[in-house]
A and B are shown apart, each in its own frame.
Chain A
Amino acid sequence: GQNIDQPTEMTATEGAIVQINCTYQTSGFNGLFWYQQHAGEAPTFLSYNVLDGLEEKGRFSSFLSRSKGYSYLLLKELQMKDSASYLCAVRPSTDSWGKLQFGAGTQVVVTP
């Protein structure tokens, strides 16, 4: 079947680190995206992994293991503005960048 799983909600304190896990079982795999979505706003692109390993971008890092069907997004030095939903998405086809399969999203709540 086709499944992308991520936790529903995570809570962390300002300044802390949070790791959002995503596991996937899809009919094809050509990369994994992480998007951030604040309430009432558009999802915004955070990261893209197509090869195994860690990609670091400032306070955000994303990791991929294709053999395990697993990715995580690491948010460091949490700030209040990081409170948002984080969406994991798989690109299943080689012929399309527009067709993504999304997980249900992880709501991250940052507390003072």
Chain B
Amino acid sequence: KAGVTQTPRYLIKTRGQQVTLSCSPISGHRSVSWYQQTPGQGLQFLFEYFSETQRNKGNFPGRFSGRQFSNSRSEMNVSTLELGDSALYLCASSLDNSPLHFGNGTRLTVT
């Protein structure tokens, strides 16, 4: 079974731009969560989607948004990028009552 797939692996953007990251969950997993990982803050929860609905949201500004499609694939978008948005963005999927399986992440650098 294929794992969680995130694209792209690396991304370089400039301040003020916007970016869209993509995540394909493990087949059969309907829950998708997004996390931001930085050296200073560690792993921080962004949002969780289940059956195309946002079920939970973390404490991030409105510039961070996401969505989930009917095939459970998910995207997250960050608008008006800031230098502090440079991070590893991790997507994770799960069956609804089981541990998270993480993808390898998208490394975003904002210059």
Interface size of B by Cβ–Cβ distance < 8 Å? 28
Q: Is A98 interfacial (CB-CB < 8 Å)?
A: yes
CA distance A43 to B92 in the complex (A): 10
A97-B94 in contact (CB<8A): yes
- Since A43-B90, A100-B45 are in contact, a sample of 9 more A-B pairs with Cβ atoms closer than 8 Å, ordered by chain A residue number, is A33-B99, A42-B4, A95-B55, A96-B48, A97-B99, A98-B32, A99-B56, A102-B35, A105-B42
Interface size of A by Cβ–Cβ distance < 8 Å? 22
A104-B42 in contact (CB<8A): yes
Q: Is B76 interfacial (CB-CB < 8 Å)?
A: no
Interface residues of A, Cβ cutoff 8 Å to B: 33, 35, 41-45, 48, 87, 89, 93, 95-105
Q: Is B110 interfacial (CB-CB < 8 Å)?
A: no
